[in-house]
């Protein structure tokens, strides 16, 4: 019985990952502030650590990993000293 339950849990996890990836992929090509991107992604993946929990060196090259599961890649369209006002364009999302 445990094996069946474990399989169902894995199946649900796969479904959740696929569903999250579909939602994240819809963001590709969108321009938004780094704050808007971070909020939207955290809503989609249901939590995790914010990009703002790290200094600029962790995301300045155009990428951030959420939940050690989803790599979100982006171009910085317009930089700003205030990270909340940095304008980005999502270029890709990868499942790790």
Q: Please write the tens of the pLDDT for every residue from 4-32.
A: 444 454 555 588 899 999 999 999 999 99
Residue 70 CB partners (closer than 8 Å, separation 6+): 20, 21, 24, 41, 45, 93, 94, 95, 96
| Residue 2 pLDDT | 42
| Residue 5 pLDDT | 43
Q: What percent of the chain has pLDDT over 70?
A: 86
The SS3 assignment for 11 reads helix
Q: Residue 39: phi, psi to the nearest 5?
A: -60, -45
User: What is the length of the chain?
Assistant: 96
């Amino acid at each position: 019985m445990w094996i069946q339950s474990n399989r169902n849990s894995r199946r649900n996890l796969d479904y959740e990952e696929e569903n999250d990836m579909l939602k994240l992929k819809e963001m590709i090509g969108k321009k938004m502030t780094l704050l808007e991107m971070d909020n939207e992604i955290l809503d989609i993946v249901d939590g995790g650590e914010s990009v703002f929990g790290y200094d600029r060196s962790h995301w300045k090259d155009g990428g951030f990993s959420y939940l050690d599961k989803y790599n979100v890649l982006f171009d910085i369209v317009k930089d700003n000293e205030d990270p909340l006002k940095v304008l980005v364009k999502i270029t890709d999302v990868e499942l790790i």
